[in-house]
Amino acid sequence: MDMRAADRMVAIPPGRVTLSDRRTRRSWQVELAPYRLAAYPVTQALYAQITGLLPGTARGDRLPVEGVSWWDAVRFCNALSRHEGLAPAYRLDADHHAEGDGIAWDSAADGYRLPTEAEWEHACRAGTTGPRYGPLDEIAWYRGNSQERLHDVAGKRPNAWGLHDMLGNVWDWCWDVYDPEVYGSYRVLRGGGWFDEHWSCRASARRRSHPSFQVDDVGFRVARSVVR
């Protein structure tokens, strides 16, 4: 993804998705307007081009960037928006801190942002209803086939909407707070990663992490609103 990010964005149709949490046994429905989502996670090449930084330990231009916090991902989205002449989606207070406050999402902005959890699952499923959009070994890098390492993006079969690596390789940061009453500012992670067993690589699987944590199997992909 070292070209213009807009060239690798996929138009996602509107729809309705039912989210669920196994821990709380809660489920809820979300209606979604159309949006655009990157065909694969942000690569090391693109991240370095926009930020001048190269986090993580693995090296390869087409490897997904990892070792990036939720805050890193948010700042990258704004930097990429400015790089392409778009309105940044996020407003960051100068004195914001790692607990997750001091940020506002401008839903009218046409710039890059993180997908919501509902957008992520809707896009991952691509009209399917099962735990995965295809046979796991064909669509994902996970512990059973990854040799316990990262792999280049788009090396596995995409889903029906042309999205690669929605499951496996790296977890994707999402915009949402996981459960503020129990976990405070922890944010949602989706998709499973290269070190995960098969049961974590499911369309409905949810994980959480503190927005300041940087982990070697966590990356992100960018989204854009369809602004009228």
Written as tens digits, the pLDDT of the chain (228 aa) is 445 665 699 999 999 999 998 888 899 999 999 999 999 999 999 999 999 999 999 999 999 999 999 999 999 999 999 999 999 999 997 655 444 568 999 999 999 999 999 999 999 999 999 999 999 999 999 999 999 999 999 999 999 999 999 999 999 999 999 988 889 999 999 999 999 999 999 999 999 999 999 999 999 999 999 987
96: helix, coil or strand? Answer: coil
Bridge partners, residue 169, by sequence? none
- Cβ-based neighbour number of residue 34 at 10 Å: 11
Query: Which tokens hold the place of 12?
Result: 């996602």
- The count of C-alpha atoms lying within 13 angstroms of the C-alpha of 194, restricted to the half-sphere facing its C-beta, is 21
Q: Contact 219/171 with Cβ under 8 angstroms?
A: yes
* Spatial separation of the C-alpha atoms in residues 69 and 10, rounded to whole Å: 24
Residues 44 and 65: beta-carbon distance below 8 Å: yes
Give me the residue label for tokens 């138009």.
11
DSSP assignment of 19-85 equals EEETTTTEEEEEEE--EEEESSPPBHHHHHHHHS---SS---TTSBP-S--HHHHHHHHHHHHHHTT
Alpha helix segments (H runs only) across 126-173: 136-139
Q: What pLDDT, on the 0 to 100 scale, is given for residue 107? A: 92
pLDDT at position 25: 86
Q: What CA–CA distance (Å, rounded) separates 30 from 32? A: 6
pTM of the entire predicted model? 0.94
- Which residues, at least 6 apart from 56, have a Cβ–Cβ distance to it below 8 Å? 44, 65, 66, 67, 68, 216
Which token pair is 209? Answer: 């992490």
Q: Look at residue 163 in the predicted model and tell me its pLDDT.
A: 98
Identity (one letter) of the amino acid at 51? Answer: T
Helices 70-83 + 44-51 axis angle, to 10: 70
